[in-house]
Structure 1
Amino acid sequence: MVERGVSDPGPPFPGADLVYDLAACLRFFTRLPIPPLPDEPAPYGAPDFRTAPRMLPVAALLLALPAALVLVLAWEIRLGPFVAASLALAALALVTGAMHEDGLADVADGFGGGASRERCLEIMRDSRIGAFGGTALFLGLALRAATLATLLDRSGWLGAPALLFAASVSRSAALIPIAWLAPARPDGAGAAVGRPDRA
């Protein structure tokens, strides 16, 4: 029962929860300086992964937008498809702080060098990059650049929508293991942010 004179104000504006989740995703997945929003609860805390992932596809489109613009601009000034693709990937790495590249290297080192589950987790937590991680980074970036360059060469500026689409789909697909599998460590980042609601 609500006391007289005290009422639940509700969200400060329609769709506030969605906007808060979008801001949380952008803060978590990018280096963009997203300011606190009006009445936003814990703007600089870890995102609540029970609800925040519903806005991840939109956040992924926004974080890939600078890279898509760089791709189109570099293509339009005739820098060549591979140079344009490489500059777009550099822009994407700058926006995200190379978060996904770091994760790829950690996974490659862990699975490549670990003989047991415990050793894999220990290697993945190590900030140094080994031979497996370096190879995975090189191959991952080379394949992405070659794919974008091929798209540019064959379809022109349509490589930009493909980049946006890939950013959204890949980050959304990354939620599947988080939703369906238990965290690898009880004290890791996966356990701290919670599991998405499957709905």
Structure 2
Amino acid sequence: MTDSIDDPEPAPPGERASLPDGIRFAFGTLTVLPARITRWDRPAARTGMACAPLAGLVLGLLAALAGTLLLALGGGALLAASLTVAVPAALTRALHLDGLADTADGLGSAKPAESALRIMKQSDIGPFGVVTLVLALLVQVAALAHAYADDWTRGALAVVTAAVVGRLAMTLASRDGVPAARPEGLGAAVAGVVPRRTAAAVTALVLVLAGLAGLAAGPLAAVRQVAAVLLALLVAELLLRRCVRRFDGVTGDVFGALCESAVTTALVVLALG
């Protein structure tokens, strides 16, 4: 997510967006997959950000398909992991990775909120952003390579779970009560749009599905799946609170940083054991 999109138009109180409108909003803003956004307003943003994990599910499945196909062709775990990490980056134009780098530059600048936000909005990437980006990608590839080397199904499941929880972190960051750091941009468009009950329900659904997906490999795998989701969300929540204190709210870059932080954490947990 970036801050280059205009604010959504206001909608009459109580107006709701349909599920298809929300799904188009989610895929149109979080991916480059073909999805014509039919509504660009607060109700559509509310439904769309609640559907963000669905966009993550599709990205994860496509990434897992690419990685396991390369494994089947004899590409090896490291090569498969590298391709798997590259697929979501390509299907999001690396916007979330860019957000991670920009947020790292803003947090590392030690400057007032207004100056830090100006640094984040610049097109170049500073030293904090470069180091953070490189380390995050290295950890993601290493964790996935370990999972793939153990078993291709374990690696594929890790990819899908991490992609979903990364977008779930965005849903939770869109809950009401979380302010926007700027009055414009995509961060402002989705900040505070998701009711807390909806965010909690989506989180509970993801936890249940993650646990059920792991049951095929045994109870310990199911526990690891749930633990990965919870720890990833914890890391994202801590980062969210730090950004809100530091920038006086969230931006599109912060959403990208939350996503990549949750993805990285989930992959590390799922590679253990």
Identity across aligned pairs (percent)?
38
Give the drift of 1:141: 0.5
Conserved? CA contact 1:63–1:96, under 8 Å? no
Name the structure 1 match of 2:187. 190
Name the structure 2 match of 1:151. 147
Name the aligned partner's letter for residue 21 of structure 1: G
Give the drift of 1:46: 6.3
Q: What is the correspondence of 1:63-82 to structure 2 with a 5 Å cutoff?
A: 63-82=59-78
Name the structure 1 match of 2:28. 27
CA gap 1:46/1:154 in 2 versus in 1, 3 angstroms: farther
Instruction: Find the aligned partners of 2:41 and 2:95 in 1 and give their Cα distance.
Output: 16
Instruction: Find the aligned partners of 2:22 and 2:86 in 1 and give their Cα distance.
Output: 26
Structure 2 counterpart SS, 1:49: helix
Give the drift of 1:87: 0.7
Give the drift of 1:102: 0.6
In the alignment, structure 1 residue 142 sits paired with structure 2 residue 143: no
Give the drift of 1:72: 0.5
Give the drift of 1:122: 1.0
174-183 vs 85-94, greater mean Cα deviation: 174-183
Name the aligned partner's letter for residue 69 of structure 1: L
Name the structure 1 match of 2:178. 181
Give the drift of 1:114: 3.6
Name the structure 2 match of 1:59. 55
Instruction: Find the aligned partners of 1:115 and 1:106 in 2 and give their Cα distance.
Output: 14
Q: CA RMSD in A?
A: 1.9
How many positions carry a matched residue from both structures? Answer: 178
In the alignment, structure 1 residue 96 sits paired with structure 2 residue 97: no
Name the structure 2 match of 1:110. 106
Give the drift of 1:52: 1.5
CA gap 1:126/1:46 in 2 versus in 1, 3 angstroms: farther
1:13-56 deviations in Å (ceiling 9; x for gaps): xxx922221121111111112246xxxx43xx467322222222
Instruction: Find the aligned partners of 2:80 and 2:96 in 1 and give their Cα distance.
Output: 20
Conserved? CA contact 1:72–1:160, under 8 Å? yes
Conserved? CA contact 1:66–1:91, under 8 Å? yes
Q: 2:165 aligns with which of 169, 177, 191?
A: 169
CA gap 1:49/1:197 in 2 versus in 1, 3 angstroms: farther
Give the drift of 1:197: 2.0
TM-score when scaled to structure 1? 0.82
CA gap 1:158/1:46 in 2 versus in 1, 3 angstroms: farther
Instruction: Find the aligned partners of 2:82 and 2:109 in 1 and give their Cα distance.
Output: 29
Bigger proportion of residues as helix? 2
In the alignment, structure 1 residue 130 sits paired with structure 2 residue 126: yes
Name the aligned partner's letter for residue 62 of structure 1: V
Conserved? CA contact 1:70–1:88, under 8 Å? yes
TM-score when scaled to structure 2? 0.61
Give the drift of 1:58: 1.4
Instruction: Find the aligned partners of 1:82 and 1:137 in 2 and give their Cα distance.
Output: 19
